[in-house]
Chain A
Amino acid sequence: MIKITNLEKYYRTEEVETVALNKLSFEVKEGEFVAVMGPSGCGKSTLLNIVGLLDDPDGGSFLFNGIEVAGFNERKRADLRKHNIGFVFQSFNLIDELTVFENVELPLIYTGVKAADRKVRVEEVLDKMQIMHRRNHYPQQLSGGQQQRVAVARAVVNNPKLILADEPTGNLDSSNGNEVMQLLTDLNEQGTTIIMVTHSEHDAKYSHRIIRMLDGQTVTENILV
């Protein structure tokens, strides 16, 4: 599903050039659950942003479902993203002014789904995430675990092929964290590919494979399953 070859990314300020990704190569197959680990500043998040089509690389090749997307402009990336990729963040990133229902509905609005269909699909996914009873609440009225469930609901409502999770349990206590990890595992079992950046060895154990990074390169790969 994802094939990355010699991917490069630099960050430049006036005086310093930092290498975030240094000729990085790896591959993720459809249906896989991959965890990416490494110390702070090793390039994990940069990698996730590029894979998520939020950022573009400075060099190398990135095939998404066999299509070269490294040179895509913002509009093309946005289009590809909204149909194929769901995101889960450490800090949830829900919109405070929208209710639970409206937050989850958002991706469907941008993909042009009709209102009646949206209602069915949002309710279905809220039900699945066991957050239906909170549908009219605002994010600040929910606990962290509940917020992350809403975020997961929003990530999956469009039935994306790929979910990118950036330290999804980083802001949660262990029991809420476990719940979220279980949700992701369930989604993976239903066929969704998952790439997760994490610092937690515990969370990484839910994945099939762990990629460890250092200084913008992969150093080892542990296959767990």
Chain B
Amino acid sequence: MLRNYFKIAFRNLWRNKLYSFINIAGLAMGIAAFILILQYVSFEKSVNGFHRNIATTYRLLNENPKGETWPQVEPGWAQKAKERFPEIKAYCRFEEGVGQGIVRRTTENAEPFRETNVGYAEGNFFEFFSFNLLEGNAAAFKKPNVVFLSKAAVKKYFGKDEPIGQSLILYNQFGKATYTVNGVYEIPVNSDIRYDMVFSLETLSNPANLNDNDWAQLDNLSSQYINTYFQINETADYKKLEQKLNTLRNELKKDKDGLVFRLQPFANVHLPASFSDNYQTTGNLKYVYILSIIAILILVIAWFNYINLSTANALKRANEVGVRKVVGASRGSLVLQFLGESVLVNMISFGLALLIVQLLQPLFNTIIEKELAFTSLLSTPAWVAGLGLLIVGSLLSGAYTAYSLSGFNPVETLKGKLVKTNKAVVLRKSLVVFQFSISIGLLLVTAFIYRQLNYMQHKSLGVNTDQLLVIRGPQVDKDSTYKQRRTAFINALAQQSFVKDYSLSGSVPGNGYNFATSGFSQPGSRKGDELKSFSFALIDDRYLNTYEIGLKAGRTFTQPETMVEWNDNDKVLMNEKAIEELGFKSAEEALNTKVQWDERKLQVIGVVKNYHHVGLQKAIDPIIFYPQSNSAYFTVRLQTDRIKDNVAQMETLFKSYFRNNPFEYFFADENFNKQYISEQQYSKLFTTASVWAIVIACLGLFALATYTVEARTKEIGVRKVLGANVFTIARLLSKDFLQLVFIAFVIAVPVVWYTMYRWLENFAYKVQLSWWVFAAAGIVAIGIALLTISFQAMKAAFANPVKSLRTE
């Protein structure tokens, strides 16, 4: 019997090639999208899972009264907690960012590289975490001045040379120090901790190695800069430990800062357990959910195609059902038969989907910016759930068809009556509406994300970032000759014909501020104003000119003013927002009043027009500009169309003054737009998803149109005989479908409006939810639907009525 079912299923697929193609192609596309996304979800769930002690490991977080958390804590707590609380078996501290600098081999003329993905870590780092050591042993990391390298770093610095026992020099804020390579490790792709190289924290326990950076002392309880992880006893309750840690904090912390400790299970560091878990994470649960929802929606669209096409095809199958019933088939055996067909179609589609996955993997990886492979799927049990969903879905979509087809009354089907039951038609229409609601919804979301992105990238920033090249300042060899060399470099740069303007600054637009602090007031301030936070940007006398930032009142710094020592300076610039925050009514008032900054008095010598120093997600911050010839960045405004040559010239110049430093530069506009990576990612994702969904939905619509035309062949013939022209026939056939697409549009609009309204709340500067975007998307959707249907509609309309009447 089974063989008979499969036989007839195969022959049916073969006979109705168009129908089968659309069904299988649509399902394969849906399943492929699902598998790709499942890979991603599976990968995200697997992150950090390889650590053997993950279940008993916790990360220490700081939490402020607003409920914001961050993992940088003071380094002194770990040891104090370990001594006090026996349930703590071990701790491991490591920092991310503090140690970055420039690294080179000790050999003469070795090439220096800037390393941002490096840090200092506890001596037990390779015992506490489960990284694979390829060379060296974990205990060798406990000594000071030891570095362990990733495989990539070994290749970068040593090529094919044996790295163990070799030395590397690290130049960073702690000065210059030499480290011996004692180990090589491998980090799995699904690890959150991703050092290119890791230096022994033990090095910093020697005050001589701190280069006067006392804030970094390993036993201090005042500078939050290190990540702290605890391993606790299996029987211990981490919530109780959290309470004890807070008691300890209150006991030892003299200046009350309103912060509390939180313990975050290591398993929740990448993805939180739920949306209500607000602790800082390294992954994005929202993104995982959005992708999962998209995956399921696309799959559902494909299944709905299946249901729609199978029930539409019922006309052709009705006779078969009738015959089978007459010769003795029970309803049960027919249900089994149609379920079998559904499983067969799904299996073929699944095979095809695997092929599509292989083809689309690179594109998908670009969108999600991860290196995933099919094997990522198998790394967690998520694939079992995925497979389960596929099976259940294919059975359910088959079940409806099976149920409705097997219910046909043989008396009627054998006479060629029936088939157009109202229930089936209503269902078919509802499914089409659903498919197009999703498609139009995705299209609209794409449109708004794209518009917002475009807006952010093109809105006037109040600063001109075109033709601005920024060179990172030197970090190596900042000795007594450094200031002299810097001046000489600047002067040489200024003489180049392609340099229109230049500036030295501690921060540049797009790269944040130097720091933020509070404690400002003026005679007219209200109580509590001193708690307001102001961002600091260290700039020279040419910064505003070079960046073409306007002055509202007053003047900018003079060159001598930028040379004054930090504590002796009493002059600042402020932007309009800062003036407003301080309660000044006008720029002039600010210029005539001294501002108090803790113990110091500052004169506002100029008011800078508001401009966007950071991305448009954030409102303009109050900024205080402090004069300093800081050499974190050299900015050059170019007047040239030979950028490549000029960059080479600048590199030669740079190298001649700062020999052991890497020459690194970026363009200010590109750098600024890097702040929109997340939005760009969403934009790419939704564009792909909406195209995918629309293609599948249109495949279904095309097939439905084909069936409708077939089913109405006689009607069309009669109408033509009675005088209907091609246009009326085409309109008649298209009208019903377009109505459905329109209903779908009406359903999609409010849902999208609400969703995008919420999304746009993330942006201080945003596009309007303009009605015309909705209208345009509606027109596009209806246009696409019309194109899809029109082929069949026109074919029917042009058909010879004699022929169409004869077919009945």
Per-residue 0/1 for B316-334: is the Cβ within 8 Å of any A Cβ (1 yes, 0 no)?
Answer: 0001101111111111010
Q: Which residues of B contact A94 (CB under 8 A)?
A: 323
Q: Across the interface, do B319 and A109 meet the contact criterion of CB distance under 8 Å?
A: no
Q: Which residues of A contact B1 (CB under 8 A)?
A: 109
Q: Which of A73-81, A120-128, A171-179 contacts B (4 or more CB under 8 A)?
A: A73-81
A74 → chain B, closest Cβ, in Å?
7
Q: Across the interface, do B329 and A78 meet the contact criterion of CB distance under 8 Å?
A: yes
Is A209 located at the chain interface by the 8 A CB criterion? no
Q: Across the interface, do A93 and B322 meet the contact criterion of CB distance under 8 Å?
A: yes
Is A168 located at the chain interface by the 8 A CB criterion? no
Is B12 located at the chain interface by the 8 A CB criterion? yes
Q: Across the interface, do B15 and A97 meet the contact criterion of CB distance under 8 Å?
A: yes
Is B474 located at the chain interface by the 8 A CB criterion? no
Q: Which residues of A contact B484 (CB under 8 A)?
A: none
Q: A55-B411, A97-B11, A97-B15 are in contact. Are A110 and B329 (CB under 8 A)?
A: yes
Q: Across the interface, do B12 and A82 meet the contact criterion of CB distance under 8 Å?
A: no
Is A62 located at the chain interface by the 8 A CB criterion? no
Report the separation of the CA atoms of residues A154 and B328 in the bound assembly, to the nearest whole angstrom. 12
Q: A93-B322, A97-B8 are in contact. Are A110 and B410 (CB under 8 A)?
A: no
Is A106 located at the chain interface by the 8 A CB criterion? yes
B752 → chain A, closest Cβ, in Å?
41
Is A54 located at the chain interface by the 8 A CB criterion? yes
Q: A54-B411, A55-B411, A78-B330 are in contact. Are A93 and B4 (CB under 8 A)?
A: no
Q: Across the interface, do B327 and A82 meet the contact criterion of CB distance under 8 Å?
A: yes
Most buried by B among A79, A81, A106, A158: A106
Report the separation of the CA atoms of residues A91 and B413 in the bound assembly, to the nearest whole angstrom. 12
Is B288 located at the chain interface by the 8 A CB criterion? no
Of the residues A49, A97, A154, contact of B327 by C-beta under 8 Å? A154
Q: Across the interface, do B326 and A54 meet the contact criterion of CB distance under 8 Å?
A: yes
User: Considering only CB atoms and an 8 Å cut-off, how many residues of chain B contact the other chain?
Assistant: 24
Q: Across the interface, do B8 and A106 meet the contact criterion of CB distance under 8 Å?
A: no
Q: Across the interface, do A93 and B329 meet the contact criterion of CB distance under 8 Å?
A: no
For A157, give the chain B residue with the smallest CB separation. B327
Is A89 located at the chain interface by the 8 A CB criterion? yes
Is B414 located at the chain interface by the 8 A CB criterion? yes
Q: Which residues of B contact A74 (CB under 8 A)?
A: 331
Of the residues A89, A96, A109, A158, contact of B414 by C-beta under 8 Å? A89
A10 → chain B, closest Cβ, in Å?
15
Of the residues A81, A93, A158, contact of B323 by C-beta under 8 Å? A93
A135 → chain B, closest Cβ, in Å?
15
B551 → chain A, closest Cβ, in Å?
83
A60 → chain B, closest Cβ, in Å?
18
A83 → chain B, closest Cβ, in Å?
8
Q: Across the interface, do A93 and B414 meet the contact criterion of CB distance under 8 Å?
A: yes
Of the residues B320, B322, B330, B414, contact of A97 by C-beta under 8 Å? B320
For A93, give the chain B residue with the smallest CB separation. B323
For B15, give the chain A residue with the smallest CB separation. A97
Q: Which residues of A contact B7 (CB under 8 A)?
A: 98, 102
Q: A78-B330, A110-B329 are in contact. Are A102 and B411 (CB under 8 A)?
A: no
**Chain A residues within CB distance 8 Å of chain B:** 49, 52, 54-55, 74-75, 78-79, 81-83, 87, 89, 91, 93-98, 102, 106-107, 109-111, 154, 158
**Chain B residues within CB distance 8 Å of chain A:** 1, 4, 7-8, 11-12, 15, 319-320, 322-331, 333, 409-411, 414
What would be 12 A-B contacts, judged by CB atoms less than 8 Å apart? A52-B326, A54-B325, A78-B325, A81-B326, A89-B414, A93-B322, A93-B323, A94-B323, A97-B15, A98-B11, A106-B323, A111-B328
Q: A78-B330, A107-B327 are in contact. List 14 more A-B contacts (CB 8 A).
A: A52-B326, A54-B325, A78-B325, A78-B328, A95-B323, A97-B8, A97-B11, A97-B12, A97-B15, A98-B11, A102-B7, A106-B4, A106-B324, A106-B328
